[in-house]
Amino acid sequence: MQNFNQKYGFKRSDVTLRNWRQRPYNTWSFQHVNEVVPSARIPGGTTQKVSTEGSVSDLAQQYITIKSDKVTIETFLTQSETDVFLIYQKGKPLLNWSAPHYAQDAPHIIFSISKSFTGILAGQLEDLGLLNTSKPVEHYLPEAISSGFSGCTVQQLLDMQASVGFSEEYLNQDGDYARYRRSTAWNPIKQGQVQEGLCDFLCSLPTGTAPHGEKFHYLSPASDLLGLILEQVSGSSYAELMSKFLWRPIEAQNDAFVTVDAYGAPRGAGGLSVQAQDLLRLGETLRQNGQHNNKQIISERWIHDMKTSGSKEAWAKGNFAEFLPNACYRNKWYQLENPYKAFMAIGIHGQWLYVIPEKEVTIVKLSSQALPQDDELDTKCLHFFEQISHIL
């Protein structure tokens, strides 16, 4: 058996809160976030293991063309710093590929795919009558009244239509985004700095330049605020909600984790770590209109709303319109303009859950990319998924 240094090329003690999202350390830390960042456990629902057998050698060696480059699927996965890649069709495994450093049972951080989980939880609490998405956020979280979120409805949080003065700059070291990272306990506190909690940070953000609801504006703090609202209306922690309403019902085979700040507030925008097979199981549940093992886990009402109610007008005015032309966004899920009616959830550093209902296909791609945001590589990944749609 390889020791740690041989497997990863660095010592375990080299990984710190300061560098855990950087290459090469993220090849380990992205599967062990709960050892680096304070985290709450989300119990799973079964001990039954999902079959991971598939036509690994045949499909992985199939050639595809991405932006005029002809490569095998395996070559592209390696080039895009993929940790694990799964394809299921009609509920059966077609491909299970993983990098040498990937630990099969480890929970992998999914970053902003977490937002899409939070959107599902909001829908389930709405179905129970605990949440009214037409209400403004301060109805549920009074401390938000003096923030830039004041007057924003819960649905506008869900659809990324909150207008707040904040810029999503992942590599920022000394501005608002760095302060945001510190408030979530993702970055260390420097000498002389005060430990600020996530809720205090969110409630300090200023008003944006446009009215709420006018356009799509990608804003991670909006999803963190939604996570706090879900805890407030339910009287339960985010981890308890996830386990009760989603993780146990879909019979996730492994525990998940969500990072929390110094005061226990959950990172509903990007803090979830889940095992790849369990993420695929969620994708399969959505593909089957919210059902798992003939039980309705996610309501058909919510599934229909997620797929059909996104605003193309708000999207066209937003900051992702060039990246995904003619797409839309609803309940924290992306709907794509393509022949197969695909929808997806994505996260920085190369995390993807891609569902193609017309092909009965679910795809999971979890990665440890060096850059948090790489527009060129993200575009290639979209072409990659489209190519797979054509060959299956």
- 103-128 residue pLDDT tens: 888 999 999 999 999 999 999 999 99
Asked whether residue 182 is domain-assigned, the answer is yes
Separation between Cα atoms, residue 20 and residue 14, nearest integer Å: 9
Average pLDDT over residues 79-102: 95
- pLDDT at 73 exceeding the cut of 70: yes
- pLDDT at 1 exceeding the cut of 60: no
CA angle 247, 279, 256 (to 5 degrees): 50
Decide: 149 and 202 in contact? Cβ < 8 Å.
yes
Reading the block at residue 7, the tokens are 């497997």
Asked whether residue 212 is domain-assigned, the answer is yes
- Give the contacts of 68 (CB within 8 A, at least 6 positions apart): none
Largest alpha-carbon pair distance within the chain?
58
Average pLDDT over residues 24-43: 98
Task: Give the domain extent around 175.
Answer: 124-225
- Give the contacts of 282 (CB within 8 A, at least 6 positions apart): 117, 246, 250, 252, 353
Asked whether residue 270 is domain-assigned, the answer is no
Decide: 246 and 43 in contact? Cβ < 8 Å.
no
| pLDDT score at 373 | 95
Separation between Cα atoms, residue 34 and residue 324, nearest integer Å: 33
pLDDT-based confidence at residue 93 (cuts at 50, 70, 90): very high
Instruction: Count the neighbouring beta carbons within 10 Å of the beta carbon of residue 92.
Output: 11
Decide: 220 and 170 in contact? Cβ < 8 Å.
no
Asked whether residue 359 is domain-assigned, the answer is no
24 upstream amide cis, omega within 30 of 0: yes
Q: What's the CATH number where 220 sits?
A: 1.20.58.710
Count of the separate structural domains present in the chain:
1
Asked whether residue 137 is domain-assigned, the answer is yes
pLDDT-based confidence at residue 178 (cuts at 50, 70, 90): very high
Report the chain's mean pLDDT, rounded to a whole number. Answer: 94
- Identify how many contiguous H helices and E strands the chain contains and give both numbers: 15, 15
| pLDDT score at 45 | 75
Strand partners, 352: 346, 365
- pLDDT at 201 exceeding the cut of 70: yes
Strand partners, 70: 65
Asked whether residue 128 is domain-assigned, the answer is yes
Separation between Cα atoms, residue 330 and residue 328, nearest integer Å: 7
Asked whether residue 31 is domain-assigned, the answer is no
Asked whether residue 220 is domain-assigned, the answer is yes
DSSP state of 87: E
| pLDDT score at 207 | 95
- pLDDT at 31 exceeding the cut of 80: yes
Decide: 120 and 227 in contact? Cβ < 8 Å.
no
Name which of 324, 323, 322, 327 is nearest 310 in CA terms. 327
- pLDDT at 255 exceeding the cut of 90: yes
The better pLDDT of the pair 318, 192 is held by 318
Rg of the chain over all Cα atoms, to the nearest angstrom: 20
Separation between Cα atoms, residue 71 and residue 387, nearest integer Å: 12
- pLDDT at 50 exceeding the cut of 70: no
| pLDDT score at 54 | 43
Could you give the residue ranges of the DSSP H alpha helices within the chain? 4-8, 26-29, 56-60, 73-79, 113-127, 137-140, 154-158, 176-183, 198-202, 220-234, 238-242, 276-287, 300-308, 312-316, 375-391
Length of the chain: 392
Average pLDDT over residues 176-187: 95
Please identify which residue in the block is written with the tokens 């919210």: 290
